[in-house]
A and B are shown apart, each in its own frame.
Chain A
Amino acid sequence: MHLKRKRKLQQLLLLTVGSGLIIGLILYALSENINLFFSPSEIASRKAYPAQRIKVGGMVREGSLERADDSLQVSFMITDYQHDLVVYYDGILPDLFREGQGIVAQGQLQADGAFVADQVLAKHDENYMPPEVSDAIEQASAAANATVEQTDL
């Protein structure tokens, strides 16, 4: 009986250590490969640094879209209504990309503060705003209100 219990305990220990090790390794790989999301305001307050691969999101500012004449190079501004961010992209924009619509872009921040995207996503639904974007806009306006109250005092 004792021997049996001992074996069972050993098995259990082996299983726990083994699966713990595997999950630990997976989580380590995971932490190396996450893409953080930033709003234009967070970028303006230097929360993100060049050389990091990040995602940014916001509404495309009306009238900010500019196209090159001879290539697919475009630039546009995204905004959370507190701060703007200039985005450069070389490629085909998604069907639902439109001025005044929420988008998410993935790429790298440049030293001059502009963002060079290698992927631009707009969701396939007319009324849909990416939740990251709506959150970012809410937070930005809440922060702005707070500063306004402080200056009032």
Chain B
Amino acid sequence: MIPELGHLALILALCLAIALAVVPLFGNATSQLRLQVAAHPLALGQGCMLLLAYAALTVSFIMDDFSVVYVVANSNSALPLPYKFSAVWGSHEGSLLLWVVILSLWTIAVSLLGKRLPLLMQARVLAVMGMISSGFLAFTLLTSNPFKRYLPDAAIEGADLNPLLQDFGLMIHPPMLYMGYVGFSVAFAFAIAALMDGKVDAAWARWVRPWTAMAWGFLTLGIALGSWWAYYELGWGGWWFWDPVENASLMPWLSGTALLHSLAVSEQRRLFKSWTLLLAILTFSLSLLGTFLVRSGVLTSVHAFATDPERGYFMLLLLVLCVGGSLVLYALRASTVRSRAVFNLLSRETCLLANNILLMVALAIVFLGTLYPLFLDVLGGERISVGAPYFNFLFVPIMALLLLLLGIGINVRWRAMPSQRLMHLLRQPLLWALGAGFAWPWVYAGAFNASVALAGALLVWLLATSVADLWQRVQQQNNAESAWWKLGASYYGMLLAHIGIGFTALGIAMVSHYSVEVSLRMAPNDKVNVGGYQFIFDGVKSIDGPNYSSIQAQVQVLKNGSVQQILQPEKRHYNAGQQVMTEVAIDAGLWRDLYVAMGEPLAQDSWALRIHYKPFVRWIWLGALLMAFGAGLAAWGKRHRFIPLPVAQTRHKGINS
């Protein structure tokens, strides 16, 4: 009964989505106000239906309804309750459902918060989101229906959720990532609406900015969670593998970062307008590409579970329709969007232009490295893979250059700035950065290391240039006390996000150069020294979990002869699927992680153990948290900007530009 209700709700949601895609635009064309306003209840109705369908699937999981194919494939009566909630998006069908549910939530948010937008814009934006939703709902219903059932012969027991996914990090990773991916659909919808309109003004950019910042923040969190999960769950101690699936989420992030910065120029200086529109289209297209790559199973990586060519073709069709349609519209209408303004070579505009160019180069590096093997494979050529050296060799210098530029960009003003003044502002931060950068590897490791010095210098450079700019801005205000407040949340958000990137960079450099990794054979009471700690293997214990049995190693960690901690890594054997999983034990800290994973059992009670010492690894994710928090602050600070300018003023500005 409940699965049927869910299926029905899904079908109704598709009907409402199609209505949302058609009715407001028809209202536009025929100037019927009532049809345009109908976008709001349609968006709300679609959202409610989707939440209902989602709830129905969740209830099916909780009640162990093994007549539902999807539940049988991804759950088990012994699966702990929290994982029954997350098992809903544990595989292809459910994660698509989550995708459309999140899209409908963004649609409702636009509908509620966008009531101050011009009616025409509201109708168009919501209609575009309705089109995307229709496509994906049709995909879900036609090829990947999560409510398909075994009737009348229900299964007795489920196959259990993939043990890799039975984990807190992976409970929240997909929703965050999808919030990011799908969040960019808002910027995309606004871009399409602007192209229909043939006009991009400062007010338009002002509306799009907070939405883009929110989506970017979620995507940052999602990527960081994925990296954290890979670090502790895969048992190799790596936090980024340049795996195609990881790259698929990095590409919209790079393009979204460029979009955020280009939007800033479009708002403040009414420049880069058609470029901003193109970036909005590109970013969402890359989000779709990411969904396609992961969901169609064209990739051969640990993440790709679905392998059904029919789904692949449908997905490709959606991708082509969406990208092709929007690019055709862009080609037809972009010439009506003109930017006319001049700026000096030494100006924030130039810096942001350089930012965009560097980000596009970085995007090209990741794009080619990810898709080239795929193209070659499709063309029937050799089977190749592109290794991490390629990405590291090209990506890292580009990012270093970007961070160097960032420090200048924060301090430089719009339009033009005398070079002496800029030099004066930047001299001190530069000295600080160089000094600290050179000193840091000596202080930490007693020897020079160019990469670590560079990362250290860049972090100090970002901190010092941020402080310099903050100080400069406070000084310019008459009242120093209230000046701190007047700068506004979005300014502080911007600074925080930029500093976050510096933290991540330092974490990456430290963990890449000072990690100690040892794989060895250990018999009970064997000792080994790693990174200034002594590890003693005390043998193994057998323990039982709710849906697995486990062998747990006991490893004492000593520093200077005193016991600090007992680490207990496990080798789990899941009952339902008979899979073996490594559960690592980590002693986490701000300055270092101690990481122990079990390998295979060897003769005479000895085990293969993998012991890692990972300095500063937490900084990578700490930096990402700062970035996401900064983005949230920036979006929140711009909330007042939803208020459109009075009509007369808008027109006046429109003429000026």
Contact A124 B384 (CB under 8 A): no
**Contacts A23-B368, A26-B364, A26-B394 given; does A93 touch B599 at CB 8 Å:** yes
Q: Tell me, in angstroms, the Cα distance from A130 to B386 when the chains sit together.
A: 16
- Encoded as 1 (CB less than 8 Å from any B CB) or 0, chain A from 117 to 140 comes to 000000111100011100100000
Q: Which of chain A's residues have a CB closer than 8 A to the CB of B577?
A: 126
CB neighbours of A93 from chain B (8 A): 599-600
The answer to whether B364 and A131 have CB atoms under 8 Å apart is no
- B368 with A33: CB separation less than 8 A: no
CB distance from A53 to the nearest CB of B (A): 8
Minimum distance in angstroms from A35 CB to a CB of chain B: 5
A67 touches B365 (CB 8 A): no
A132, B393: Cβ atoms closer than 8 Å = no
Give every chain A residue within 8 A of B372 (Cβ-Cβ). Answer: 27, 30
- Tell me which residues from 64 to 114 in chain A have a Cβ below 8 Å from any Cβ of chain B: 67, 69-72, 91-93, 95-96
Within 8 A of A (CB), among B352-406: 361, 364-365, 368-369, 372-373, 382-387, 389-390, 393-394
B582 interface residue (CB < 8 Å to A): yes
Q: Report how far A138 CA is from B608 CA in the complex, Å.
A: 35
A144 within 8 A of B: no
Residue of B nearest to A130 (CB): B300
By the criterion CB–CB under 8 Å, are A36 and B599 in contact? no
Give the docked Cα–Cα distance between A30 and B392 (Å): 11
Contact B385 A55 (CB under 8 A): yes
| Chain A proximity of B544: nearest CB distance (Å) | 19
Q: State in angstroms the CA–CA spacing of A57 and B609 once bound together.
A: 25
- Cross-chain contact B384 with A92 (CB below 8 angstroms): no
Could you write out 25 A-B pairs with CB less than 8 Å apart?
A22-B361, A23-B368, A26-B365, A26-B394, A29-B393, A30-B369, A33-B387, A34-B373, A34-B384, A34-B385, A34-B390, A35-B385, A35-B386, A35-B387, A36-B384, A67-B602, A72-B519, A72-B521, A72-B608, A92-B599, A92-B608, A95-B581, A96-B579, A124-B302, A135-B383
- A71/B368 contact (C-beta < 8 A), A22-B361, A34-B384, A130-B300 known: no
Q: How large is the interface on A (under 10, 10 to 19, 20 to 34, 35 or more residues)?
A: 20 to 34
B-side contacts of A126, CB under 8 Å: 577-579
For residue A125, which residues in chain B have a CB less than 8 angstroms away from its CB? 162, 305
Chain A hits for B320, CB < 8 A:
none
Among A37, A67, A96, A124, point to the contact of B382 (Cβ < 8 A).
A37
**Binary contact track A11-32/B, C-beta < 8 Å → 1, others 0:** 0000000000011001101101
The 0/1 profile, CB within 8 Å of B marked 1, for residues 43-72 of chain A is 000000000000100000000000101111
B side interface size, CB within 8 A: 39
Q: B580 near A: Cβ within 8 Å?
A: yes
For B393, the closest partner residue in chain A by CB is: A29
* Interface of A toward B, CB cutoff 8 Å: 22-23, 26-27, 29-30, 32-37, 55, 67, 69-72, 91-93, 95-96, 123-126, 130-132, 135
Query: Bound complex: CA of A23 vs CA of B368, how far in Å?
Result: 9
* B119 interface residue (CB < 8 Å to A): no
A35 to B372, CA, bound (A): 12
Q: What are the residues of chain B within 8 A of A95 when measuring CB–CB?
A: 235, 579-582
Please pick, from A33, A67, A70, the residue contacting B386 in the complex, using a CB distance under 8 A. A33
Complex contacts, A34 vs chain B, CB 8 Å = 373, 384-387, 390
Task: State how many angstroms separate the Cβ of A127 from the closest Cβ of chain B.
Answer: 10
Select which of A26, A96, A132 is within 8 A of B368 by beta carbon.
Answer: A26
Considering the complex, give the chain B residue whose CB is closest to the CB of A34. Answer: B384
Instruction: For B521, list chain A residues within 8 Å (CB).
Output: 70-72
Contact A124 B164 (CB under 8 A): yes
- Within 8 Å by CB of A22, from B162, B364, B603, lies B364
A125 to B389, CA, bound (A): 27
Which of A22, A37, A131 has a CB less than 8 Å from the CB of B384? A37
Tell me if A23 and B608 are in contact (CB < 8 A).
no
Query: Chain A residue with minimal CB distance to B521?
Result: A72
- A69 and B361 in contact, given A33-B390, A36-B384, A124-B302 (Cβ under 8 angstroms): no
Q: Please, how many angstroms separate the alpha-carbon atoms of A126 and B90 in the complex?
A: 16
Besides A26-B368, A72-B520, A96-B580, 6 more A-B contacts (Cβ < 8 Å) are A34-B390, A35-B386, A71-B521, A92-B519, A126-B577, A132-B383
A36 touches B382 (CB 8 A): yes
A30 & B383 in contact (Cβ 8 Å cutoff):
no
B384, A29: Cβ atoms under 8 Å?
A: no
Chain B residues, Cβ within 8 Å of A69? 603
Task: Compute how far the CA of A86 lies from the CA of B545 in the bound complex, rounded to whole angstroms.
Answer: 39
- Give the CA-CA distance A32 to B582 in the complex, in Å: 35
Distance A55 CA – B300 CA, assembled complex (angstroms): 14
In the complex formed, the residue of A with least CB distance to B383 is A37
* Cα–Cα distance between A114 and B571 once the two chains are bound (Å): 31
Question: What is the CA–CA distance of A71 and B581 in the complex, to the nearest angstrom?
Answer: 23
Residue B311 lies at the interface, judged by CB distance under 8 Å to chain A: no
In the assembled complex, which residues on chain B have CB atoms less than 8 Å from the CB atom of A30? 368-369, 372, 386, 390
Is B348 engaged at the interface, CB distance under 8 Å to the other chain?
no
CB atoms of A123 and B302 under 8 A apart? yes
| Cα separation A22 to B361 with both chains bound (whole Å) | 7
Residues of A within 8 A of B149 (CB): none
Instruction: Confirm or deny: B610 has a beta carbon within 8 angstroms of a beta carbon on chain A.
Output: yes
Contact partners of B235 in chain A: CB under 8 A: 95
Contacts of A29 in B (CB 8 A): 390, 393-394
Quote the shortest CB–CB distance from B307 to chain A (angstroms).
9
Which residues B590-635 have CB closer than 8 A to chain A? 597, 599-600, 602-603, 608, 610
Query: Contact mask B418-460 → A, CB, 8 Å, 1/0?
Result: 0000000000000000000000000000000000000000000
